[in-house]
Amino acid sequence: MRRRYGGLLALLLVLLGAVSPAQAKQKPKPKWLVLANVTVVDVRDGTNQPGMTVVIRDQRITGIAKQAIIQLDRNVQVVNATGLYLIPGLWDMHVHLTLRPEPGLASEILLPLLVAHGVVGVRDMGSDWEQIQRLRQEIAGGKLAGFTLLSPGPFVDGPQPASASVAPVANAAEARAAVRALKARGVDFIKVQAKLSRESYFAVADEAKRQGIPFAGHVPESMNAGEVSDAGQRSIEHLSPALPGDAGILLACSGMETELRQELAALGEAEQKPDAKLEDLRARMRALQSKLLDSYSPPKCEALLARLARNRTWVAPTLIWSRSFRPLSPQDLGQDVPLQYVPAATRKRWEAGRKRYVESVPPETFALTQRIAEKSQALAGALHRAGVPLLAGTDSFDGFDLSGFSLHQELELLVKAGLKPAQALQAATLNPAKFLGRERDFGAVEVGKVADLVLLDANPMEDIRNTRKIRGVVLEGHFFDRVELDKMLAGVEAAANREPAASGGK
């Protein structure tokens, strides 16, 4: 393990006169940050290295060793980390920061919520690009400077009204033009959505390769998951068939795939009819979901997963979304989510909508929802065992899926799916770095990497739920202690309760 740390800093750790985090934050931002006597967690193999000194200068880790000589002055901040555990900063690889209409939602609520929960970077999976750029400017201007935000701007999807968050295309020519236009606007990648035709999808894939820009997203309803993998799609989002556009991998594992595709297309047409009745549509969807679960073919799925692994197609299961989107039982009213951080009007809408749903659906709906959640979880485990690389993502912010908080729920669900705690942590640390081609910069606690780190009160290798026990967050070398994180959360709560605007929800 030490070979990744470099040589020893020196022979003796001098801590006389060390300042406490509370004292240090009153001084000018130090050029040096030292985390003393901390247990470093190696997410690569799940081992721990206790009693380490981690030295940070100019936003990067410059040394990790058992002992060090530290000359203390006003430019050095020393944090006594005895009894604490140090992990890399977490990434949420599937969020939506600017799709909701509330003013200031992303900057006043979602960003501080993410950081307070140890999340130092996100992959936004479809938003208003102008809002994303303004948000990046706010970040660079000092609001949580160092937080990393990647985004594709608007989705590329099938024919529909255009908007700031959707770039609709009807044919191959329009698809190619959309890819070129988005690249010219400076987006980080292209996001494909569920309603793309086969012609449009293959045009997006080919043009993205021509333009040298990656593409990721859903498995379009017109496509098979193996086909999108072969086409070079970097990641597939979602495992749950809670909505038709999220069932791509499970549908490709079905022994009735052709028949179910026909039923799915017919359901989509029925939804567009002006006289469509919600209860009838719900009943047809439940029937389709039941068939999908019942027709799961282990041999067919095994061949598909081998194909994904061979192509190095990443998957973001978003297991927590499938559990947040619909309650698993009549008693599941979202009480375990800290709703005080949700804008008041949105919170009331979520609660009222869930209450109406619980009171209106038949009992068998909850049993089906539970089956869907269990199958999605089992499929995540099967993907991992087959060698398909996973990314931790939440699809927040919406419907009891709370940014920051839900990433820890996702890690716990990945462990329940069969991953070891270190492997679950990799999905939110090392794997995002590999996926983005930035393993030299982040993803592990190692010399030379950007100092995006999380201090924990307990060992996450013993219990993944210990990632919730955050004592401090280091964001590009700036240390936020527990007092500062609590103030951050108090600010979020105040902003949420003064927010007048209502928002929609899934």
Dihedral angle computed from the Cα positions of residues 377, 383, 384 and 390, in that order, rounded to the nearest 10 degrees:
-90
- Rg (alpha carbons) of the chain, rounded to whole number: 23
- The band of 246, judged by pLDDT with boundaries at 50, 70 and 90, is confident
- Domain 2-89+442-496 fold is Urease, subunit C; domain 1 (2.30.40)
Mean pLDDT value of segment 245-262: 90
Pick the CATH number of 90-435 from 3.20.20.140, 3.40.47.10, 3.40.50.2300, 3.30.420.40: 3.20.20.140
β pairing state of 119-124 and 148-150: parallel
CA 499 from centre of chain: 25
Give the tokens for residue 223. Answer: 């496509």
Whether 497 has a pLDDT exceeding 80, the answer reads yes
Whether 231 has a pLDDT exceeding 80, the answer reads yes
- In the chain, the amino acid numbered 405 is F
Tell me the per-residue pLDDT of 153-188, one tens digit each, with 9 for 90 and over.
999 999 999 999 999 999 999 999 999 999 999 999
- The band of 500, judged by pLDDT with boundaries at 50, 70 and 90, is low
Tell me the per-residue pLDDT of 341-357, one tens digit each, with 9 for 90 and over.
999 999 999 999 999 99
Select from 251, 253, 246, 306 the least CA-distant residue to 94.
246
Percent above pLDDT 70 for the chain: 90
DSSP state of 221: T
**Residue 29: what pLDDT?**
58
**Residue 73: what pLDDT?**
75
Answer for the pair 316, 235: CB distance below 8 angstroms, yes or no. yes
Domain boundaries, the chain: 2-89+442-496, 90-435
Select from 451, 454, 477 the least CA-distant residue to 467.
454
pTM above 0.75, yes or no: yes
Tell me the per-residue pLDDT of 402-447, one tens digit each, with 9 for 90 and over.
999 999 999 999 999 999 999 999 999 999 999 999 999 999 999 9
User: At 182, phi and psi to the nearest 5?
Assistant: -65, -40
CA 326 from centre of chain: 19
Mean pLDDT value of segment 45-63: 95
Angstrom distance (rounded) from CA 380 to CA 228: 18
Answer for the pair 478, 29: CB distance below 8 angstroms, yes or no. yes
User: At 468, phi and psi to the nearest 5?
Assistant: -75, -20
Give the tokens for residue 262. Answer: 């026909």
Q: Which one of 55-69, 130-144, 458-472 scores highest in mean pLDDT?
A: 458-472
**Residue 244: what pLDDT?**
63
**Residue bearing tokens 């297309």:** 265
